[in-house]
Amino acid sequence: MENTNQKRLPLLGDDFPEMTVQTTHGTIELPKYYSGKWFVLFSHPADFTPVCTTEFVAFQKRYEKFKALNCELIGLSVDQVFAHIKWEEWIKEKLGVEIQFPIIADTGAVAEMLGLIHPGKGTNTVRAVFIVDDKCKIRIIFYYPQELGRNMDEILRAVEAMQISDKHGVAMPANWPNSEVVKDHVIVPPAKDVKTAKERLEKAKAGEFECFDWWLCHKKL
């Protein structure tokens, strides 16, 4: 029998849930705080841990690239604000990197809401990533185990690729922009009826785009 009281975790396409959080930059209302911007909310198991430290340095070193895509960063763990601040100071002193984006000091409420605690992987938050667009919709969710650090270039690529997809109405191939099949091209969405399928090959002959077949066409932006 279905438990109607069980909370449903956010899914792709959902509005990012409204919440008020305490951060190293003060109290923030999400997603309102980033209205009109994309943002990446990422959780880490704990402050003062080796893998998490390398991740924060990696995120900070790419922060300007994220901001160039109208995208902000916000971290999260179930640690108190003073621990976040002390950890930031340690990173700046020992590694010469100043963390400029806010970090949420979660009481556990946000972790529960977003499904960040996976009992099979311990009691700390897993390494989750929520990519949220400028309309506050959740577009991508990544989960990583505690023992694996994230690839920030992939997260950056995902944000850029989704923005291009939205703007041009196209799909993005594997390993874009270095696809083994279509190189730096984007994928033209496949035809959904016979008429469009026939037109697709005619447009390919006219040089509008290239096709392996009517259902696999691609073009350069």
Catalytic residues: 52
What length is written for the chain?
221
**Please, which residues have CB within 8 angstroms of residue 11's CB and are 6 or more apart in sequence?**
138, 141
Dmax (CA) of the chain? 64
Cα–Cα separations (whole angstroms), residue 102 to 42, 47, 203: 11, 14, 49
CA angle in degrees (0–180, nearest 5) for 173-177-183: 75
Instruction: Assess contact for 53 and 86: CB atoms under 8 A.
Output: no
Query: Alpha helices, DSSP H only, in 12-95?
Result: 50-61, 63-68, 81-95
